[in-house]
Structure 1
């Protein structure tokens, strides 16, 4: 299911990027240089939004692509003030833990904004209408060897420790 060669001398790049995202979330390091504004290795956390860290970020939001090119999505369920339960699928994640041979626990994040809230975000059509992200209590454990691409979206403050 992995897209790369299964040779010990080749590491899984998706795994390495997700490990780096976890490290960046855990350790803020100053770096003023910007080559690519959505480079997943960009530090400090908050740097995806601005070359100068203007807000406190605790999460680097990212997506994962399957070998067929489709975005991987996680199921979520949230309670809202006016609805007892809202659910759907989201392609946006926060890494919570990376362990063993490239396994990871990911938290499903829900985008907020002025897009069609029918339970499944049409990312290509609605992406520019996303104003931010909220965390859910839904986590998923994945084998990072099953993905071919990772794309970082934004650095946000989800108030993980609140």
Structure 2
């Protein structure tokens, strides 16, 4: 929010068609700092502190939670994983076209298998699958905890 000529302007409200773009732009700046981008003197500290380079998020359109399908190939020719995801990472923004390049994050359970239920997700795995979306189709964004990108290590009790 900011003030302009005696009125309060909320740049993230529903009447602003660029609200999702502005939110993603801010998210991208924070994510760049996590990656160790040279734009901040604290960036290398952030990278060491958080041990992740991604701020995961959800997108919402008029129908609800946005979801895409992906196909990830493994090291062997016949090794591939089909999955649906509601989780994304911002890669690039194009203000002129009001679009964004997003990479799909694969939802993983505690047993290291793909899960479809959003409540069963214990971690997210980055993929090399990218899509470009028109941001005018979306009305909201919800950021998630960066801890979802950390690998869970469970040590044996004995």
| TM interval, short-chain normalised | 0.5 to 0.7
- Deviation, 1:4, is 4.3
Runs of 4+ in 1 over 6 A off after TM superposition: none
Q: Kindly report which structure 2 residues correspond to 1:76-91, keeping only aligned pairs within 5 A, or say none.
A: 76-80=70-74, 84-91=79-86
Note if 1:146 corresponds to 2:140: no
Structure 1's 130 and 73: CA in aligned 2 closer, same or farther, altered over 3 A? Answer: same
Match 1:109 to one of 81, 89, 105:
105
Q: TM-score, normalised by structure 2?
A: 0.66
Relative contact order: is structure 1 or structure 2 higher (C-alpha 8 Å, sep ≥ 6)? 1
Pick the structure with more helix per residue. Answer: 2
SS in 2 for 1:60: coil
Q: Find the aligned partners of 2:123 and 2:56 in 1 and give their Cα distance.
A: 10
Deviation at 1:71, TM superposition (A): 1.2
Equivalent position to 1:56, from 44, 47, 51: 51
Question: What CA distance in whole angstroms lies between the structure 1 residues aligned with 2:19 and 2:73?
Answer: 35
**Are the counterparts in 2 of residues 90 and 120 from structure 1 also a CA contact under 8 Å?**
no
- Between structure 1 and structure 2, the one with the greater Rg is 2
3-state DSSP class of the match of 1:26?
helix
Structure 1, unaligned stretches of length 5 or more?
Answer: 31-43, 47-52
- Alpha-carbon shift at residue 18 of structure 1 (Å): 0.8
**What is the number of equivalent residue pairs in this alignment?**
128
